[in-house]
Chains A and B, each alone.
Chain A
Amino acid sequence: MEIDSKKCVGCGNCVPVCPMGAIYVDTATNRSTVNQDACVECYTCSRAMSKERLNPPLLRMIRGVLKMLRLRFEPEPDVCPTGAHTPQELTWPRIVRRAFSDPQVPHESTGVTGRGTEEVKTNDLTNRVKEGEVGFTIEFGRPGVGVHFKDIQKMIYALVPLPVTFEKKNPVYTLFSDPVKGTIREDVMNEKLLSAILELKTTIAHAPEVLRVVKEVAPTLNTIITIGAATRCDAKGDNKLEPLFIREGYNVFRGKTNAGLGRRSVTPAA
């Protein structure tokens, strides 16, 4: 993302809007500027701020007068008065930043917008996670911290020796140059993302071991990790995972419940 210096009036409204804190007002130019290393191409600034399309020179003059009088106009906080944010044409490997950071861009691997697959949200149709299995989602970088692939790589290398199966449709998996070793292709290693999700499956019996490894590696990474664990319920709606987590000392009280209302063939709705 770039900010058009001809349009920007240096109001600073977009500074706190950036999830990565990559935007700052350059006091030398009095214009908002993007730190390109920190920017993850999520497009939040250009998409989520309303635009007024005001005249930049006129606005700068008014702001200059107000500044001389030690006054400051208090604008609506989610407005760019001139629509100054300008997306760049992204090339490889920088383009992966947007694929993982802008939720309105579908991944080619999944066909789904966002960073992961449908996981268990369509498990009633896909049977992706079966009874006795656990589908883990290990998410890096959220909320508002960001992650480089080199940190994701450390976690993958720690998990590969365990009895786990990585989800092949997951966007991170599509960047593996060596699926056996779990090696991510070298040319994206220094790219920064808003977040990325690693999806893998194991058995309920091996779930504590996976959790132990993830919790051991997490503090060595320069990011935050969130863990999700999904399983299939039995005919009564019970499962063996929740009691296991409670025994292991995890406080699991919130999650996603698939109600099982999906069907493969249906009569078209009226």
Chain B
Amino acid sequence: MTNTLHRFGEPETFRDDFVIFGMAAQGINNKDAKQKLIKFYHMAMKHKPVNIGNHHGSLYRTSENLSPLVHWHRVDEGDPEAVLNSIDDKSAQMAVVFDTAEKLEAFLIELKEADLGLSVNISSLTDMARLCCKNAGIVRHSVGYSMGFHGDLSLLPDKHVLELSTMCGHGMVSNNFAKKMIDLVKEGRRTPKEAAHCLSRFCVCGVFNPAKAERILEEVRKGE
């Protein structure tokens, strides 16, 4: 489950990228996780996450019966109700993405007070996570570090593509599709926001950060 560990980028590119998981452990506390995850969801939504989801899907979803009119006008502001309704008796985790450390910290304070009993993990810059934990009165329990990419690095695409595609650690956002979105934005055929939402729909567990994607696409558009 290292689906958020190896996001590509230099430290400064993670200033708007904070993923939090609420998770029950298989065979220990997963049997009664549904109500805790529902509470986790409602607490998270108060802090305006940029994405949220579980293994059934994220805020941004595909449609099985899309109207052809979407080719001329497509509005996708996310479907939080679909995420809530997908929490079932088998659910054991939920992922939330925030774009500021302030939101993360405020959420952590609430989580500590709520004492849900779920394991809570923060995927971000480790120093930032530790600071937010400290400010919330939490001492971190364990840390998993990303030690980067190794082997034949010539197999990898350029850094902007990787910054986008590695935001879905399960690999559902393909490098070629990220490149296509970059090209569409550079050619003025899609806005960064439209392209970011389009990419988000491919990540099935809600850890893709559309706000960060929009920022990257805007920077690429301007040639920054």
Contact = CB atoms under 8 A, between A and B. Distances in A.
A237 B29 contact: no
Interface in B20-53: 21, 23-29, 32, 35-36, 38-39
A143 B3 CA distance: 11
A265 B175 CA distance: 43
Interface string A20-64: 110000000000000000000010100111111110000000000
Interface residues of B, number: 99
Contact of B146 (A122, A197, A226, A258): A226
* Most chain A CB neighbours (cut-off 10 Å) among B56, B65, B145, B150: B145
B75 interface: no
Contacts of A18: 174, 176
Interface in B158-195: 162, 165-166, 169-177, 179-181, 184, 189-190
A225 B150 contact: yes
Contact of B148 (A47, A119, A226, A261): A226
A123 B55 contact: no
Interface stretch (B77-85, B122-130, B215-223): B122-130
B2 A226 contact: yes
Interface in A121-165: 121-126, 129, 135, 137, 139, 141-145
Nearest to A260: B141
Interface stretch (A1-9, A88-96, A178-186, A228-236): A228-236
Contacts of B63: 50-51
Interface residues of A, number: 103
Nearest to B34: A269
Given A253-B11, A259-B122, A221 B145 contact: no
Contacts of A252: 126, 145-147
A258 B141 contact: yes
Contacts of A254: 5, 7, 11, 14, 124-126, 145-146
B143 A233 contact: yes
A19 B177 CA distance: 8
Interface string B99-141: 0000000001001101111111111111101100110001111
B119 to A, nearest CB: 4
Nearest to A216: B150
A253 B77 CA distance: 32
B197 to A, nearest CB: 10
Given A224-B156, A226-B150, A269 B142 contact: no
A260 B138 contact: yes
B120 to A, nearest CB: 4
A211 B126 CA distance: 20
B66 to A, nearest CB: 4
Given A233-B143, A259-B133, A122 B119 contact: yes
Interface in B190-209: 190, 198, 201-202, 204-205
Contacts of B141: 123-124, 232-233, 258-260
A214 B148 CA distance: 12
A71 interface: no
Contact of B6 (A104, A142, A242): A142
B171 A262 contact: no
Contacts of B2: 115-116, 119, 137, 139, 197, 226, 228
Interface of A: 15-21, 42, 44, 47-54, 73-79, 81, 83, 101, 103-104, 110-126, 129, 135, 137, 139, 141-145, 194-195, 197, 211, 214-215, 218-219, 221-233, 235-237, 239, 241-242, 245, 250-266, 268-270
5 contacts: A52-B68, A74-B189, A118-B23, A214-B150, A256-B5
Given A50-B62, A125-B28, A224-B155, 15 more contacts: A15-B176, A48-B172, A103-B204, A113-B55, A116-B2, A125-B29, A230-B143, A242-B126, A254-B11, A254-B14, A256-B4, A259-B119, A259-B133, A262-B120, A263-B115
